[in-house]
Structure 1
Amino acid sequence: MDIRHLAYFLETARLKSFTRAAESLYLTQPAISKAIRQLEEELGATLFDRIGKRIELTDAGRVVMEQAQAITQSFSSLSAKLGDLAELKSGQIRIGLPPMVGSSFFPKVIGAFHNRYPDVTLQVFEDGAKKVESDVADGLLDIGVVVLPHSFDVFDSFQFAEERLNLIVPASHALSGASSAKLEELAQENFVFFREDFTLHDRIINECLQAGFQPRIVYESSQWDLISEMVAAGLGVALLPETICRQASGKAVSVVPLEEPAIWWRLGVIWRKDRYQSYAAREWISFTREWLGGTPVEEGSGKR
């Protein structure tokens, strides 16, 4: 059933004239008559009594008019809601953020996006980057922030940050105040790590193994500030990105540049290649790419 035919029928019933309905709808009278005839054939009922030049609704016509009004109103409401989505007056986006990334990079972005699109709801889920990547792949999240590289077969993305990991040690540590440190110098140290669902957990272990030792992990956490507090308390040392180190400095810890090897922390926004993205999600991707100065991620561009 064509929704337009119902609209033509309602206008004809309101004006009680094919001619006036055609004029009102900027159509020809034959077009209106044909649409009504097709509607009658489809419903198997006569909708108008033709009395000379006058027309009146039949009993079937009155029933159809009542239902047609409800149908066209619902269709108009649906069109309006879809229009709101297209114009970003409403919508919902599910975003995955690792905790230290969310607090360091996204409060201002989220605030600016909300100011521009106040009726778009952002649902933020805080998890480690490995869990975020898995949830985007499974469709549980629309968009995620992860530590690069990622699977290029599954995701589209852009990169917005690239930093080195630095060493943080207690203020009383022998390396406190040093101009730099080598990873191999830390073979006998206790380490405070991010949990296993964080990409940095495996990344640092692999780097330590390549440096010739298995790191002795005494504590794991999902919170960078708790990690820095544990270091300040003398529980061990930790490797944290430059952004986090700047926030951790002054808390009875010393930040030492890690020179050999340089361990890179590269952040990107990812979304599924083969999944439909809502208007709101597409605008969030465009908005954050511009806000954060995002750049394309090329396959094989990862750094050690």
Structure 2
Amino acid sequence: MLRNREFSTILADGSKPHRRSGYRMPQVSLRELQVFLAVCECRAFSRAADRMGVSQPALSRTVRDLETRFDLRFFHRNGRGVELTQAGRVLRQHAETVISSVEDLEIELNELRESASGVVVIVLPTHVSQVVTPKLVRRFAEHYPKASLHVFEDANDRIADRVRDGVADIGLFYAYAPPDTPRQDYVAEEPLFLVELPDEDGNDDDGPITFAQLADRPLVLPRRKSVYRQFLEECADGAEVRLNVVRELEMGSTQMAFVLEREGGSILPFSHCWSEVRSGQAVARQIVGPKITRHITLIRSTFKQAQMVRVAGQILNEELRASNAMFRWQFVAKADQKAG
């Protein structure tokens, strides 16, 4: 698809005409040239509008604006359609040259892009990888057919190190404070939820719950040595709440399994329980007063600055947003990110 760029008027030999002092050469966009050529080829505004996928008044306005800008008439209107004026024939010659050159440019650049080869490595948390990897790999292959995208899963506390050490080009991990170092982007906030089974009467209240209300809830959580548990305890201390932990786990990934075994509730991100909530096996209530969140952070390698890495990061961000029903993240605007 041709972009809507602007070109100064040029002569047939490629040189620019002499400009009078104080004279500003009119600018023409590619879109205007495409509209003009469509009218030339169709010899009627109505058929040209159909070809361009616009209304006839909009197309007529584009041609009229072009004529006004150059203070010239490019078409003679008559009952049978339109015919080119002398100025119109000159413009058509140059317009066809410009459009053809831009199309050739796009073909050559696409060939360069498609010939790009290499490997991009992304490391993700397990629950994120399971959701976005298939589409991520497919879309990357559409951009770079001769390159490879490798997506690996790893523990959250090791992901940033994988990128810093040059093992991976991009990593996505959960942080407990917004990033303040180069080459890290603050992508989203991840709220945490109290996840429980519906009560015996089948009530499935999924409204928010305050931190104070957690005090009388039996909880299944990772052991205190885990960063995640330490974060929860700090939040509880700040809210002056003592968490009622009835079972401590070596592996945080098993929390949902223990909830289903009626050991107690747990505090989890929505991505860890969305399938159970969707099936009605569990209820997730966002914790508020205060709200507790983790910061979803994307880190990029300083070892590789290839365009392929930037494209892979962009696709990852887009797929995360498209899959947000499974995450319930609160994405931040680019202005709020600390980009490297």
Q: Which runs of 5+ in 1 are unaligned?
A: 1-82
Matches within 5 A, 1:46-61: none
Q: Kindly state the Cα deviation for residue 105 of structure 1 after the two structures are TM-superposed.
A: 3.9
Q: Kindly state the Cα deviation for residue 95 of structure 1 after the two structures are TM-superposed.
A: 1.2
Q: Which residue of 2 aligns with 1:266?
A: 295
Distance 1:124 1:239 in 2: 28
Q: Which residue of 2 aligns with 1:296?
A: 334
Q: Secondary structure at the match of 1:100?
A: helix
Q: Kindly state the Cα deviation for residue 296 of structure 1 after the two structures are TM-superposed.
A: 2.9
What per-residue deviation string (whole Å, max 9, x for no partner) do you get for residues 158-188 of structure 1? 51x4342111112237996343322233335
Measured on the aligned residues, the alpha-carbon RMSD in Å equals 3.6
Q: Which residue of 2 aligns with 1:91?
A: 118
The worse-fitting range, judged by mean Cα deviation, of 167-176 and 89-98 is: 167-176
User: Is the 1:146–1:269 Cα contact (8 Å) retained in structure 2?
Assistant: yes
* TM-score between both structures, scaled by the size of structure 2: 0.52
User: Is the 1:232–1:251 Cα contact (8 Å) retained in structure 2?
Assistant: no
Q: Which residue of 2 aligns with 1:218?
A: 248
Q: Which residue of 2 aligns with 1:139?
A: 166
Q: Which residue of 1 aligns with 2:311?
A: 283
Q: Which residue of 1 aligns with 2:32?
A: none
Distance 1:267 1:297 in 2: 16
User: Is the 2:214–2:243 Cα contact (8 Å) retained in structure 1?
Assistant: no
1:255 to 284, 305, 322: 284
User: Is the 1:85–1:279 Cα contact (8 Å) retained in structure 2?
Assistant: no
Give the percent of matched residue pairs that are identical in Structure 1 and Structure 2: 22
Distance 2:258 2:212 in 1: 22
Q: Secondary structure at the match of 1:125?
A: strand
Q: Secondary structure at the match of 1:282?
A: helix
Distance 2:225 2:155 in 1: 5
User: Is the 1:104–1:244 Cα contact (8 Å) retained in structure 2?
Assistant: no
Q: Kindly state the Cα deviation for residue 96 of structure 1 after the two structures are TM-superposed.
A: 1.2
Q: Secondary structure at the match of 2:262?
A: coil
2:135 to 102, 108, 111: 108
Distance 1:116 1:237 in 2: 44
User: Is the 1:95–1:122 Cα contact (8 Å) retained in structure 2?
Assistant: yes
The amino acid of 1:109's aligned partner reads L
Distance 1:258 1:182 in 2: 6
Distance 2:221 2:128 in 1: 16
Distance 2:201 2:226 in 1: 29
Q: Kindly state the Cα deviation for residue 206 of structure 1 after the two structures are TM-superposed.
A: 1.9
Q: Which residue of 2 aligns with 1:122?
A: 149
The amino acid of 1:288's aligned partner reads L
What per-residue deviation string (whole Å, max 9, x for no partner) do you get for residues 131-169 of structure 1? 10122122222110012445433433251x434211111
Pair 138,297 (structure 1): closer, same or farther in 2 beyond 3 Å: farther
What per-residue deviation string (whole Å, max 9, x for no partner) do you get for residues 214-250 of structure 1? 5635224353xx4322101112211222344432213
**Given the alignment of the two structures, is residue 166 of structure 1 paired with residue 196 of structure 2, yes or no?**
no
Q: Kindly state the Cα deviation for residue 98 of structure 1 after the two structures are TM-superposed.
A: 0.6
User: Is the 1:97–1:124 Cα contact (8 Å) retained in structure 2?
Assistant: yes
The amino acid of 2:286's aligned partner reads P
Matches within 5 A, 1:3-22: none
Distance 2:271 2:194 in 1: 12
What per-residue deviation string (whole Å, max 9, x for no partner) do you get for residues 18-63 of structure 1? xxxxxxxxxxxxxxxxxxxxxxxxxxxxxxxxxxxxxxxxxxxxxx
Report the number of matched residues: 214
Q: Secondary structure at the match of 1:187?
A: helix
* TM-score between both structures, scaled by the size of structure 1: 0.57
Q: Kindly state the Cα deviation for residue 92 of structure 1 after the two structures are TM-superposed.
A: 0.8
User: Is the 1:167–1:258 Cα contact (8 Å) retained in structure 2?
Assistant: yes
In terms of Rg, which structure is larger? 1
**Given the alignment of the two structures, is residue 152 of structure 1 paired with residue 180 of structure 2, yes or no?**
yes
Q: Which residue of 2 aligns with 1:207?
A: 235
User: Is the 1:145–1:268 Cα contact (8 Å) retained in structure 2?
Assistant: yes
Q: Kindly state the Cα deviation for residue 85 of structure 1 after the two structures are TM-superposed.
A: 8.6
Distance 1:252 1:126 in 2: 27
